[in-house]
Amino acid sequence: MYSIKSISVLTGLGVETLRAWERRYQVIAPRREAGGHRTYSQQDLEKLTLLACLTRQGHAISKVSGLDIEQLQKLANGAEEQVEHKNQFSEQIVEALLHYRIDRCEQLLKRALISSEPLIYVRDILAPALVHVGQLWHEGKINIAQEHIFSASVKRILLSMVNNVHNLSANRASMLFATPSGEPHEFGLLMSSLLAAEQQYNCYYLGADVPAFDIVEATKKLEVNIVVLSLLKSPSDPETLAQLNAVMEALSQTEVTIWLAGRGVSCWLSQKPMVPSNCDLIADFDDFHNKALQWRHHN
């Protein structure tokens, strides 16, 4: 038998995603121990592994949750061509970067965006490409200039798409996107802002390394409903954790909801006896997408 944490590690699915799939789609029915803890069988692990694979390939969980293991396996076998296509995209991006072909790089990014749904684009195409490029830089196979060319292209295209997808409206729910001081990584935020814009949220993008005071002031002045914060550095710097706590405290007596995502969240949680009532943890892009849909329908 497996615990929910073990299942999360083995499948790559966040704990919150596992709970959401169980609650919304009844994908599995784990056993409950005397203390209420979930336990999972080998069959549960097999099914969740297949579901994780298929959703990463672009299948909506709502469409595949009712399939049995045999049906899921057949569907997974048919997804190999899609994986190859996505691998080719990363290879083409790298080839363009090696020759400083900025035009080619942006052409590939735009072509993939136009041909894909936003969730599939950020989760299955762009995020893996960012990881691939980052790994090549760490390995010394591309230089920092080439990595910066790619980063600048991604940022320019995503912000352009966010601005083009929607016009600000007083009748729409709104999200503010930022990372606290000391946290420089912003691409998860950028991709999340595209998902929110596609769902017709007003999106206010502050970017990376923003002081707590400025995040709070912008939230109040813009009358934001949801503040999306990202912590990717793990462990996070003490300054970053202090800034995050300052945002939490300043917004604790408001109706603003804080969504917190990224690898560094575990470091912050280790210092907290419990998650504040106005804070929700975001496991991955699927979780963000589903929470955004749910919030909009219930508010």
Please tell me the predicted confidence (pLDDT) of residue 176.
96
Please tell me the predicted confidence (pLDDT) of residue 256.
95
Half-sphere exposure of 197 (CA within 13 A, CB side): 23
Co-location of 207 and 281 in the same domain: yes
Co-location of 190 and 292 in the same domain: yes
d(CA 258, CA 276): 9
Co-location of 206 and 288 in the same domain: yes
Residue whose token pair is 């949220």: 201
Co-location of 148 and 216 in the same domain: no
Continuous H helices in the chain: 4-11, 15-25, 42-56, 61-64, 69-77, 80-98, 102-114, 118-120, 127-138, 144-165, 187-198, 212-221, 238-251, 265-269, 285-298
Co-location of 131 and 145 in the same domain: yes
Is residue 1 a contact partner of residue 39, using CB atoms and an 8 Å limit?
Answer: yes
Please tell me the predicted confidence (pLDDT) of residue 214.
97
For the full predicted model, state whether its pTM sits above 0.85. no
Q: What's the CATH number where 109 sits?
A: 1.10.1240.10
Q: Considering 163, 196, 228, which residue would you say is the last residue of a domain?
A: 163
Please tell me the predicted confidence (pLDDT) of residue 276.
82
Please tell me the predicted confidence (pLDDT) of residue 46.
87
Please tell me the predicted confidence (pLDDT) of residue 78.
65
Per-residue pLDDT of the chain (299 residues; tens, 9 = 90+): 788 888 887 887 888 888 888 888 888 888 887 777 888 888 888 898 888 888 876 677 888 888 888 888 888 776 555 555 556 777 888 888 888 988 888 888 888 888 778 888 888 888 888 888 889 999 999 999 999 999 999 999 888 888 876 677 878 899 999 999 999 999 999 999 999 998 889 999 999 999 999 999 999 999 999 999 999 988 888 999 999 999 999 999 899 999 999 888 887 888 776 778 888 888 888 889 888 888 877 77
Co-location of 253 and 156 in the same domain: no
Q: Considering 43, 77, 111, which residue would you say is the last residue of a domain?
A: 77
Co-location of 215 and 281 in the same domain: yes
Domain, as residue range, for 212: 167-298
Please tell me the predicted confidence (pLDDT) of residue 191.
94
Co-location of 122 and 237 in the same domain: no
The count of structural domains within the chain is 3
d(CA 118, CA 124): 10
Buried b (16+ CB within 10 A) or exposed e, 203-223: bbbbebbbebeebbebbeeee
Q: What's the CATH number where 71 sits?
A: 1.10.1660.10
Co-location of 184 and 221 in the same domain: yes
Co-location of 49 and 144 in the same domain: no
First CA to last CA distance, the chain: 39
Q: Considering 163, 191, 220, which residue would you say is the last residue of a domain?
A: 163
Q: φ, ψ for residue 29 (rounded to 5)?
A: -130, 85
Please tell me the predicted confidence (pLDDT) of residue 87.
65
